[in-house]
Amino acid sequence: MTVAAPLDVEALRKDFPLLTRRVHDRPIVYLDSASSALQPQVVINAMANYYETTHANVHRGVYATAEESTHLYENARLVVGRFIGAPDPAHEIVFSKNTTESINLVAHTWARANLKAGDRVLLTEMEHHANLVPWLMLADEIGLEVRHIPVDGEGRLDLDDLSNLVAGAKLVGLSAMSNVLGTINPVAEIAAVAHSAGAVVLVDGAQLVPHVPIDVQALGADFLAFSGHKMMGPTGIGVLWARRELLTAMPPFLGGGGMILDVKLDSFRPAAPPARFEAGTPPIAEAVGLSTAVDYLRGIGMDRIRAHERELTAYALGRLDDKLGGDCRIFGPPAGDDRGGVISLAYRDIHAHDLAQVLDQFGVCVRPGHHCAKPLMRKLGVQATARASLSLFSDERDIEVLIEGLVEAGRLFG
Amino acid sequence: MTSGDFDDLYREIILDHYRSPRNRGELESPPAHRVEGFNPLCGDEVVISLLVEDDRLADLKIGGSGCSISQSSASLMSSAVKGKSLDEVRELIHTFKGMMSIHEALLGKDGEADEPQAIDFDRLGELAALQGVVKFPVRIKCATLSWIALAQGLDEVAAGVS
């Protein structure tokens, strides 16, 4: 096994203009990448350059800039597809608005065409609302049975009863990495069981794809949904990867321009994927930004990013325990192969909103609340947590300021 | 380390009501009316039991859990409205909400700066301690949670909902 060369965090930090900002007269400490990542200057420049030199609608005009625009947009599909190991990126990458829309697309198209009353959908207790509510909406409409793989005391999926839960399921939907616990789930293992039971596997990759090297084929996913803005691209663009044969058999999602072969007053014929699922003018500048972000991440190396964040997660968990001890409750598994850089914590009995407000005074950006995972919060027995999430530019100083802020919150509310 | 705005947010009286909330608990329902308020963004919740007798808010108790701002606001509210006539309570709700929307009031109808809405701070008493919240717009929903629930509860009682 080769050891990835460590990141030069000091140099990388210079790539992010927002990190030069001061908040309340202190340097910003950005620990909210799980919510939305920051953009390196190259992404911002690429989007500005696109608008300044190239912008035109795609798949329409024949003039030079329209050709270039179309090329940039379609090339983004290839860049993003290769990044996740898609075997046929030109046909398998659908651009959406975000992870949420990607999952809703599957629920509206594949699921409506393939599921009927009484069919079982298996999710997990640690899902984000984005992978819960679309299925509950569909269940209300057509009468699905929705079940869940439980979460154990350490914040991992409890797979003891998996074969029973999977039996008869038509779809297994799970997060590859929890946005609350940081747990990296054994997707390949679960997908193998799901496939042998005849189920299709939908993976919410919003948290994993930006931080861990992945290969959709090794993952065993049939659908993979993720967002541009969590991987240093812009907001407003998300991705759905799906196996080509699944996409080809799926009915359209939104109707409109760009998704048709032919339209008559009384009928239409849909285009082939991916155009079939991209009605209307797509997020072109955002695709340019996203492909630039992917190039940026690849340039650094996902294995090095993962190694850095893994090491810093271990440091953070250790330091929080050393400095705050039993006053600080950290959710999720201990640092290791199955733990990403998402650190949800409760400090004494101080509400997460109050913690975050005090941390803001230190320039520290964390996310307080239920993280769009209310069923999981109930399971953990908390109303809200404060969540610090790491990025390739995070370092030990960020963790020290976080701890400094928590100590001050303890003093204020003690 | 703290700025003036921050100190205004977490005034001592707010921290005191957070640490030692007044009128905590629940009243037997019926005869009391029970109303819940949720802040869907952060999961804070408040449960108010209110007992209306002869057009007075004879008693109320506060349950639920949440951040220091939502819980202290509920506690301060309970002290301020308990025993008051329903007209006085509604007037206070109106005044409090006015204080919490002071920025909107300042913007005026067409976005131009307008004369500030007159807020009767004397009438608010201790509740005026919560005015620092308006500098933190995200937290306004925390401060108004219990007040919106109380207004809803009074409406339900008036409409005969049990």
pLDDT digits (tens, 9 = 90+) for B35-94: 999 887 777 889 999 999 989 999 999 999 889 999 999 999 999 999 999 999 999 998
Report the distance separating Cα A87 and Cα A251, nearest Å: 22
Top CATH class, A44-299: alpha beta
Q: Which pLDDT tens digit goes with each residue over A118-137?
A: 999 999 999 999 999 999 99
Interface of B to A at Cβ within 8 Å reads 1-3, 6, 9-10, 15, 18, 41-45, 65-69, 136, 139, 142
Asked if the Cβ–Cβ distance from A362 to B6 is below 8 Å, we say no
A65, amino acid identity: T
Helix segments in A18-127, DSSP class H: 41-53, 64-83, 89-92, 99-108, 110-114
Domain with CATH 3.40.640.10 in chain A: 44-299
Active-site residue list of A? 372
Report the distance separating Cα B73 and Cα B93, nearest Å: 12
Q: Among B43, B66, B67, select the one facing A374 at the smallest CB separation.
A: B43
Report the distance separating Cα A125 and Cα A318, nearest Å: 27
Asked if the Cβ–Cβ distance from A412 to B15 is below 8 Å, we say yes
Q: Which of B42, B71, B73, B142 to mutate to test the interface with A (most CBs of A within 10 A)?
A: B42
Closest-CA residue to A166 (of A137, A189, A196, A188):
A196
In this prediction, residues A268-280 reach a mean pLDDT of 97
> What's the pLDDT band for B162 if we cut at 50, 70, 90?
low
- Tell me: ipTM over 0.90: no
pLDDT over 60 (residue A67): yes
On average, the pLDDT of chain B sits at: 84
C-beta separation of B83 from B62 below 8 A: no
- Whole-number pLDDT of residue B119: 66
Asked if the Cβ–Cβ distance from A357 to B139 is below 8 Å, we say yes
Least confident of A402-406, B53-57, B84-88, B96-100: B96-100
- Whole-number pLDDT of residue B108: 44
pLDDT over 50 (residue B109): no
Helix (H) / strand (E) element for A388: namely strand A385-389
CATH architecture label of B4-158: Alpha-Beta Complex (3.90)
On average, the pLDDT of chain A sits at: 96
- Whole-number pLDDT of residue B111: 44
Q: State which CATH number among 3.50.50.60, 3.40.50.1360, 3.90.1150.10, 1.25.40.10 fits the domain covering A9-30+302-413.
A: 3.90.1150.10
Question: Regarding predicted confidence, which is higher, B132 or A404?
Answer: A404
Name the DSSP class of B85: B
Q: Among A361, A374, A377, select the one facing B2 at the smallest CB separation.
A: A361
Report the distance separating Cα A118 and Cα B91, nearest Å: 53
Q: Which of A24, A26, A29, A351 to mutate to test the interface with B (most CBs of B within 10 A)?
A: A351
The two three-digit tokens of residue A237, written as one number: 């663009």
CA distance A154 to chain B (A): 23
- Whole-number pLDDT of residue B110: 47
Asked if the Cβ–Cβ distance from B68 to A351 is below 8 Å, we say yes
> What's the pLDDT band for B114 if we cut at 50, 70, 90?
very low
Evaluated on CA atoms A241, A246, A247, A248, the torsion sign reads positive
Q: Which pLDDT tens digit goes with each residue over A4-50?
A: 789 999 999 999 999 999 999 999 999 999 999 999 999 999 999 99
Residues 6+ away with beta carbon under 8 Å from B24: B61, B62, B63, B75
- Whole-number pLDDT of residue B113: 44
> What's the pLDDT band for A2 if we cut at 50, 70, 90?
low
Q: Percent of chain B scored above 70 by pLDDT?
A: 85
C-beta separation of A122 from A144 below 8 A: no
Report the distance separating Cα B22 and Cα B25, nearest Å: 9
Asked if the Cβ–Cβ distance from B68 to A370 is below 8 Å, we say no
Least confident of A161-165, A322-326, B3-7, B70-74: B3-7
Domain with CATH 3.90.1150.10 in chain A: 9-30+302-413
Residues 6+ away with beta carbon under 8 Å from A14: none
Q: Is A83 exposed, middle or buried (0-12, 13-18, 19+ CB in 10 A)?
A: buried
Q: Residue A155: left (phi > 0), alpha (psi -120 to 50), or beta?
A: left
- Whole-number pLDDT of residue A302: 98
- Whole-number pLDDT of residue B102: 57
The two three-digit tokens of residue B102, written as one number: 């002071």
> What's the pLDDT band for B112 if we cut at 50, 70, 90?
very low
Residues 6+ away with beta carbon under 8 Å from A124: A148, A149, A150, A151, A157, A174, A175, A185
Break chain B into its structural domains and give their ranges.
4-158
Using a CB-CB cut-off of 8 Å, the residues of chain A touching B9 are: 357
C-beta separation of A365 from A28 below 8 A: yes
Q: Cis bond leading into A89, ω under 30°?
A: no
